[in-house]
Amino acid sequence: VVALVREEAALRADVLGLDPYDALMEQYDPGNRAADITPVFAELKTFLRDFVPEAMAVQEERLAKSPLKPLSGSYAIEKQRELGLAMMAAVGFDLTHGSLSVSHHPFCGGVPSDVRITTRYKTSDFLSALMGVLHETGHALYEQNLPKAWAHWPLGKARGMAVHESQSLFVEKQIGRNPEFWRWALPVVERHLGETWSIDDILPHVHRVERGLIRVDADEVTYPLHVILRYELEQELVSGRLEAADLPEAWDAKMRDYLGLSTIDNPADGPMQDVHWPGAAFGYFPSYTLGAMMAAQQWAALTRDHPSADEDLATGNFAAINDWRREKIWSQGSRWSTPDLLERATSEKLNAAHFTDHLKKRYGA
């Protein structure tokens, strides 16, 4: 696979006049370049190496004062589904032009006039399915609000995967893990699940930070390190500086360095855990963390333009928030490159400070 990807990268690079890795990224995020992304990721990596231990220490200190209230472990799937549908409708999903189903891994698909999302359920943990619903609803809102006048033209399509991820993560992280959101959401949870929670009891679950081996299970503090590791390694694989046979050792070295964990005896939880590389999707991984950074930057710009956004969340009023996103992101389709779209929406280029400030405010001392 790596040999074929190198060949593909060379062919794309020749046609597009780009470096091989940039040519691969162009499939997923038109306009993004490694020369721009690498220094931003380097800044973020430096911050996270120090901040992850700090966030975990803060968490342990809080839990020492107030132990974690366990989830009851008896949440009927149908009740969770009704809760998910209520949340979808509240944040703006048009249920007359879409649906919620079940799958092994949550996803969003379909067309703007019929957007299908899925989640997976655990009877022992309602937050798992709910966060999946919120994430996929973010994708769906983008699709449902693309410019209808341009629907049959390339201009009317979603811009790229980083922008798409910014929309899903905006709903899941900026909204769905915001304490103010839970002031409104807890009574909704109580109505559907018959269980009463206080803000102080639910937030430690919503804001849990934990080092782990698996990217898709990571929290928003440690997740970027999983992506940066893959971003660095896949550039080395594409360039030929790293051979596939040496990947397990290279992966293990970075996991030890970034998260203090080892995968050397367990490649299934190391370089074999994702579908991307076996499927030749090199250049895709940066989209995840770029999306998280863009979501934080969009929230910062939105709250600058609309200072009462937190108060709106506390009352379940998503209209002004969605109006801003519709004007700045959704209605623009593919009119601009990813960097241009972000700059036009937020009045600045990609800036890691918004994401790090977001993490410090939510998880720091």
Question: Does the pLDDT value for residue 214 go beyond 90?
Answer: yes
Radius of gyration of the chain (CA): 20
Counting residues of the chain whose pLDDT is more than 70, the rounded percentage is 100
**Average pLDDT score over residue span 183-209:** 96
Task: Check if 136 is active-site.
Answer: yes
Question: Does the pLDDT value for residue 83 go beyond 90?
Answer: yes
**Average pLDDT score over residue span 348-356:** 96
State the pLDDT at residue 299: 99
Which tens digits make up the pLDDT trace of 141-193?
999 999 999 999 999 999 999 999 999 999 999 999 999 999 999 999 999 99
Question: Does the pLDDT value for residue 321 go beyond 90?
Answer: yes
Question: Does the pLDDT value for residue 104 go beyond 90?
Answer: no
Which tens digits make up the pLDDT trace of 218-262?
999 999 999 999 999 999 999 999 999 999 999 999 999 999 999
DSSP string over 219-268: -TTTHHHHHHHHHHHHHHHHHTSS-GGGHHHHHHHHHHHHHS---TT-GG
13: part of which helix (H) or strand (E)?
A: helix 2-16
Question: Does the pLDDT value for residue 88 go beyond 90?
Answer: yes
Hunting for tokens 């249920």 — which residue is that? 95
Please list, residue by residue across 205-237, b when 16 or more beta carbons sit within 10 angstroms of its beta carbon and e when fewer do.
ebbebebebebeebbbbbbbbbbbbbbbbbbeb
Distance (Å, rounded) from C-alpha 318 to C-alpha 324? 10
* Of 233 and 106, more confident: 233
- Confidence band, pLDDT 50/70/90 cuts, at residue 129: very high
Distance (Å, rounded) from C-alpha 186 to C-alpha 86? 12
**Average pLDDT score over residue span 109-122:** 94
**Average pLDDT score over residue span 87-92:** 98
State the pLDDT at residue 348: 97
By the 8 A CB rule, do 223 and 288 touch?
yes
State the pLDDT at residue 257: 97
State the pLDDT at residue 48: 98
Which tens digits make up the pLDDT trace of 260-276?
999 999 989 999 999 89
DSSP secondary structure code for residue 71 in this structure: P
- Confidence band, pLDDT 50/70/90 cuts, at residue 120: very high
State the pLDDT at residue 220: 96
State the pLDDT at residue 188: 98
State the pLDDT at residue 73: 81
State the pLDDT at residue 259: 97
Nearest partner of 313 among 107, 173, 213, judged by Cα: 173
- The CA–CA distances, whole Å, from 157 to 99, 111, 161, 257 equal 20, 10, 11, 39
- Confidence band, pLDDT 50/70/90 cuts, at residue 72: confident
Question: Does the pLDDT value for residue 105 go beyond 90?
Answer: no
State the pLDDT at residue 358: 98
Question: Does the pLDDT value for residue 216 go beyond 90?
Answer: no
Choose the catalytic residue: 7, 61, 136, 190.
136
> Starting at the edge strand that comes first in sequence, how are the strands of the sheet with 98-102 ordered?
98-102, 114-119, 108-111
Which tens digits make up the pLDDT trace of 327-343?
999 999 999 999 999 99
Distance (Å, rounded) from C-alpha 203 to C-alpha 265? 35
Nearest partner of 41 among 25, 17, 56, 57, judged by Cα: 25
By the 8 A CB rule, do 278 and 150 touch?
no
